[in-house]
Amino acid sequence: MAVRDYVKKIHSLGYRLTPQRRLVMEILEESQEHIDAEWLFIQAKRRDPNISLATVYRSLALLKEAGLVQEHHLGEDHGHFETAGAGPHYHFTCLKCGRVIEFEAPQVKTMVDVLGESKDLQVTQIQLHLSGYCSNCRPGKGNEKRD
């Protein structure tokens, strides 16, 4: 997404795109992972030694409100963040190694549409998170410890 699109979305909420908010957004865009606020803060601090953890949290909250960032709880007690993608996707977290696998599931939208129509609902958000064992960690794959 272009910077002018960020500016427009943030201005629509009555705010401006500060250098700190821009930095948080840049780090999120550069990341290929789902990152937490602490890791984001460490990365931001390398580029702007004056940024605080509180500023990172406030920036994330505003960027979430603007629809530019999504927060996911991936089986942990804290959130992980990523830029809002073009389409819906879901997450699988391995209980052993912590690997997060993103996947698309058009069937979910179909199911939600049918449910919404049959119950006269307007669904505005879908969260689907699966957990289990990835192909490397699955029991029975020759990776169990032997005594």
Kindly report the CATH class assigned to 87-147.
alpha beta
What are 45-55's pLDDT values in tens digits?
999 999 999 99
What pLDDT is recorded for position 1?
57
pLDDT at 69 exceeding the cut of 70: yes
Question: What global pTM score does this model have?
Answer: 0.67
Q: What is the CATH number of domain 1-86?
A: 1.10.10.10
* Short-list 108, 104, 110, CA closest to 126: 108
CA distances from 26 to 14, 99, 117 (A): 21, 23, 39
By the 8 A CB rule, do 41 and 56 touch?
yes
Residue ranges of domains in the chain: 1-86, 87-147
pLDDT number for residue 42: 96
For the chain, the helix, strand and coil percentages under 3-state DSSP, each to the nearest 5: 40, 15, 45
Q: What is the mean pLDDT of residues 56-62?
A: 94
C-alpha span between 86 and 68 (Å, rounded): 11
Distance from C-alpha of 100 to C-alpha of 89, rounded to nearest angstrom:
12
Asked if residue 88 lies in contact with residue 35, where contact means CB atoms within 8 angstroms, the answer is no
Average pLDDT over residues 117-123: 90
Q: What is the pLDDT of residues 12-44, one digit of tens each?
A: 888 888 999 999 999 998 887 778 899 999 999
- Structure confidence by residue, pLDDT tens digits, 76-104: 677 888 888 756 778 788 888 888 887 88
Confidence of residue 139 (pLDDT cuts 50, 70, 90): confident
